[in-house]
Structure 1
């Protein structure tokens, strides 16, 4: 390795010039530290790998704004990793909150002490509910529920009126309830049953 590559500044300059190999060297140099930070923050390997990938993607995506600290990109990466992990936890919480807000039927054939089966059932219900929406309504629900935008802000992002957004949200909730209820019917072969309101 050349002297100029002992710190990150030379590699970073070459990366900004479009040299993929230089960015690859930066990745190899810092991935273990970033992964350890991600693992400490997330608590499991799978999430840590996702956070690692997202952090380096952000590094590339925001490359024109990245500032090296003492000729190293690592401090920027570690701060970004912390932010990505925090956002990941928030998204998981919002997802759980959405699942908890959906009406539920009685779970059939699942031992309630078996957490993984119950989580699978909840995921199937969520997939049924979200799969019933058209792309615009799914984006609207995602913005309001997962990203915590106000209905008016989500409407502006989607270039629809606030009134249309309110109507779409109301109809989306109805369609999601209906999809879960249909999935619960005895003829559907799904794993839930019961009258969902």
Structure 2
């Protein structure tokens, strides 16, 4: 010890009565040995540092329980290091077991892409609805039957009472108008479809 005429038992007696300087002397005298012992047990320097800190915290907290053997507290510190490591290992096992019992978290996709797509789709859908509303009744009918309901052209022709060729030309023209109206700039007023 650095203080002349002071032995470890005397320093511990003073530390036991709350003398922080005496406790610091003991810490300085034994920390490397406690750390080395802890490192042999836990193998990771940062874990050994934690164990060392907990051992000396226990020594301070339980000053009345520390035993001085042959004028030294090192044996008590080393046994306390063993107990601290066992407690830490038990705690880690419990933590791992608790994690193992937990169900795997469901993968949650990033909702930002869906929100952006929804906003894009909402704008697109609004533009298509507006464009559809500006088509003539004949164009709306042919788009409804052939595109939205996916009826065969022949069935749409029979439903509307027109020849198959008329349905084909109306459908082509209606798709073109719908596309032009849907893609028109929002500030440009859309024009209704022309005569058949």
* TM-score bin (small chain): 0.5 to 0.7
Alignment-derived partner of residue 176 in structure 2: none
Match of 2:67, SS state, is coil
Is structure 2 residue 79 aligned with structure 1 residue 71? no
Once the two structures are superposed, the pairs formed by residues 73-112 of structure 1 within 5 Å of their partners are 73-105=73-105
Is structure 2 residue 62 aligned with structure 1 residue 62? yes
Once the two structures are superposed, the pairs formed by residues 38-187 of structure 1 within 5 Å of their partners are 38-105=38-105, 181=106, 184-187=107-110
Match of 2:48, SS state, is helix
Aligned residues: 111
Cα deviation for residue 186 of structure 1 reads: 2.5
Cα deviation for residue 101 of structure 1 reads: 0.8
- Give CA deviations for 1:45-83 in whole Å, capped at 9, x if unaligned: 011000000000111111111110001010000000000
- Give CA deviations for 1:4-56 in whole Å, capped at 9, x if unaligned: 42x31111111122211110010000000000010000010011000000000
Cα 1:38–1:185 shift into 2, 3 Å: same
- Give CA deviations for 1:99-153 in whole Å, capped at 9, x if unaligned: 1111114xxxxxxxxxxxxxxxxxxxxxxxxxxxxxxxxxxxxxxxxxxxxxxxx
Match of 1:79, SS state, is helix
Match of 1:71, SS state, is coil
- Runs of 4+ aligned residues of structure 1 deviating over 4 Å after TM superposition are none
RMSD: 1.7
How high is the TM-score relative to the length of structure 2? 0.53
Cα deviation for residue 98 of structure 1 reads: 0.8
Asked whether the equivalents of residues 4 and 10 of structure 1 are also in contact (C-alpha less than 8 Å), the reply is no
Q: Which runs of 5+ in 1 are unaligned?
A: 106-180, 190-197
Larger radius of gyration: 2
Cα 1:90–1:29 shift into 2, 3 Å: same
Cα 1:10–1:102 shift into 2, 3 Å: same
- Give CA deviations for 1:151-185 in whole Å, capped at 9, x if unaligned: xxxxxxxxxxxxxxxxxxxxxxxxxxxxxx5xx43
